[in-house]
Amino acid sequence: MSAVISTRGLVKQYGRLRAVDGIDLDVQAGDVYGFLGANGSGKTTTVRMLLGLVLPTSGEIDLLGERMPRAGRRVLPRVGALIEGPAHYGHLSGRENLSLLDAAGRGGSWRTRRRRVDEALDQVGLGGVGRRPVKAYSLGMRQRLGLAGALLRRPELLVLDEPTNGLDPQGISEVRELLLELHRTGTTVFLSSHLLAEVEQLCSRVGVLDRGRLVLQDELATLTAPTGSTVVYTPTPDRVRGTLDGRVASIDGERVIVRGSDPAEVNALLVGAGIPVTGLALDRPTLEEVVLAAAGTSPDRVEARP
């Protein structure tokens, strides 16, 4: 695989505040990359630097194999982006807004513009309301329209900053399925979010930003791999301790962690001793536990920067 996004020692300084502090991103072709961090951790600043909207104080950025922002004119037409909420002309329809965006971006022939706009509206579920003025749209509909704008050019790389903001649960589910379908057809997705559940359900690779520093970056499957222990659910946890003396790592209510990665072996020992077992599973950390260990705070927590 080839690197789609690569940064080396990326720094952004605002006066005495270091908003982004020497991060090395590594996003490979075919990734669905979740960029996690509390609000105010530097995610949006990083995204804006990737796209050449903000110049870094120091460090290097390669996007689709070319140095940014120098190669922006060649690279950005191959990138779809939605950052900090979409901006639209309220008096124009969704269709007219997308037509203007398509014309400004020189996404293709004007003869096929209507088809591109219709396809983008249909993809995000706005095909039936594209002629309605945007000022009559809900927040969720405006977010969908912004996503449609990012899809106009059928991008190789899709960069999204909090794309489900303002959407109801059904809308979130629809956007999730859309992003997974785009990924299946070859689009690399870079998703900036402070929502653990969103990243856990969508992403194959995760980076965690904490106060401007990248404190974790790895495959999601690696981060949440089994620990080598088994989780036993039983109404008699003390009997488990007595039977498997020395192998019980912890007890939390009816949840017992037993050292050993063969649930069948653990179950056979307990059932043989007459201990009721209501559930068994391999022990593996949740993404929340991994993030808490790395960053010391949950991305779902809203934090104000000093």
pLDDT tens sequence across 142-199 = 888 888 888 888 889 999 988 887 778 887 888 888 888 888 888 999 999 888 888 9
* pLDDT at site 303: 38
* pLDDT at site 170: 82
The C-alpha atoms of residue 255 and residue 177 are separated, in whole angstroms, by 34
* pLDDT at site 300: 56
Q: Which of 66-75, 126-135, 274-283 has the lowest mean pLDDT?
A: 126-135
* pLDDT at site 266: 94
The C-alpha atoms of residue 156 and residue 303 are separated, in whole angstroms, by 33
Asked if residue 125 has pLDDT above 60, the reply is yes
The C-alpha atoms of residue 28 and residue 189 are separated, in whole angstroms, by 10
* pLDDT at site 61: 97
Is residue 256 a contact partner of residue 238, using CB atoms and an 8 Å limit?
no
- At 297, list the tokens: 């705070």
pLDDT grade for 306, boundaries at 50, 70 and 90: very low
CA dihedral 82, 95, 74, 181 (to 10 degrees): 60
* pLDDT at site 137: 86
Query: Residues near 32 by Cβ (< 8 Å), separated by ≥ 6?
Result: 179, 180, 183, 188, 189, 191, 202, 203, 204, 205
Per residue in 201-217, pLDDT tens? 899 999 999 999 999 99
Asked if residue 245 has pLDDT above 70, the reply is yes
* pLDDT at site 64: 95
- How much of the chain exceeds pLDDT 90, in percent? 53
Among 150, 144, 99, which residue's Cα sits nearest to residue 125? 144
- Domains of the chain in sequence order: 3-223 (3.40.50.300), 229-283 (3.30.70)
Q: Is the pLDDT higher at 21 or at 294? A: 21
Q: What are phi and psi of 290, to 5 degrees?
A: -65, -45
Using DSSP's 3-state secondary structure scheme, residue 109 falls into coil
